[in-house]
């Protein structure tokens, strides 16, 4: 039997979602707790990988088991056993061929930039003190909607079959407390793509690049043309969408 799990995590202490031989990952941490409670080695498959230090305010994974269990009790026991930086929000029975990664149709990332020193956001935003022109960054972000090859923002040697992605929405906004928020939604993302885009758009906002120069960077399909990637702590995987017949969201992201 297959189950989907909705969860969230603070990625600061982890090498990312995916299990690694010599570093602690979110996947490994959950698998250890799940296997202990179910009394059987249990693998959990995530909706996608997140890099070292990147967070997820909404994430989905699946696991298989023949064990009978009470959903509420299992959820309670897992959350008691897991460290404070990982929480599981729901466990839902799905079709045996439903897949947390391959069935996902859209993903959304959110990035936060703090223009002032903020001790309460030091682990969840990029402290960036140079004034930024949000209107100009939004004008540049619109360029992304009219392109589908993002080689200029793709990490080298990632073994991608293609660097083609379809971006459905991307925009900057300002929160009531002055925090800048960048939201981007697409069918898929390349490794390090969002952080590279944010770093380059911030350089547009500070006046290093014009909007026209940003468009040239996108169309150059050359990673050396883009800016350094933004720091990991400001990035959150914030939504994953599945066809309704595969999985309907049970919980909602309260960090968006």
User: Which positions are annotated as active-site residues?
Assistant: 51
The answer to whether 110 and 50 are in contact (CB under 8 A) is no
Contacts (Cβ under 8 Å, ≥6 apart) of 250: 6, 89, 90, 92
Q: Which one-letter DSSP state was computed for residue 235? A: E
Distances, alpha carbon 225 to alpha carbons 1, 66, 164, in Å: 48, 51, 18
* Measured distance CA(46)–CA(243) in Å, rounded: 17
Instruction: Look up residue 55 and give its two tokens.
Output: 């967070």
3-state SS class at 137: helix
Contacts (Cβ under 8 Å, ≥6 apart) of 84: none
3-state SS class at 98: coil
* Measured distance CA(219)–CA(199) in Å, rounded: 17
Contacts (Cβ under 8 Å, ≥6 apart) of 251: 6, 58, 89, 90
Instruction: Look up residue 192 and give its two tokens.
Output: 């390090």
């Amino acid at each position: 039997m297959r189950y989907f799990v909705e969860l969230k995590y603070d990625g600061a202490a982890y090498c990312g979602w995916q299990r690694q031989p010599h570093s602690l990952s979110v996947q490994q941490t959950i698998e250890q707790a799940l296997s202990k409670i179910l009394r059987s080695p249990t693998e959990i498959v995530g909706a996608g990988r997140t890099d070292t230090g990147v967070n997820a305010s909404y994430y989905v994974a699946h696991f298989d088991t023949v064990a009978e269990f009470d959903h509420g009790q299992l959820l309670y026991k897992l959350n008691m056993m897991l460290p404070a930086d990982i929480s599981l929000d729901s466990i839902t029975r799905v079709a045996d061929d439903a897949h947390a990664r391959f069935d996902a149709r859209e993903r959304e990332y959110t990035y936060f930039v703090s223009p002032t020193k903020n001790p309460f956001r030091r682990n969840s935003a990029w402290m960036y003190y140079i004034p930024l022109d949000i209107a100009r960054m939004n004008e540049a972000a619109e360029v992304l909607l009219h392109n589908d090859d993002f080689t200029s923002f793709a990490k080298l040697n990632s073994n991608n079959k293609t660097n083609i992605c379809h971006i459905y929405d991307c925009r900057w906004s300002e929160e009531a407390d002055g925090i800048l928020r960048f939201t981007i939604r697409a069918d898929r993302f390349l490794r390090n793509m969002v952080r590279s885009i944010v770093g380059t758009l911030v350089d547009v906002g500070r006046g290093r690049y014009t909007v026209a120069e940003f468009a040239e960077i996108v169309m150059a399909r050359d990673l050396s043309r883009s800016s350094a990637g933004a720091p990991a702590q400001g990035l959150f995987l914030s939504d994953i969408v599945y066809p309704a017949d595969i999985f309907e969201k049970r919980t909602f992201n309260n960090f968006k």
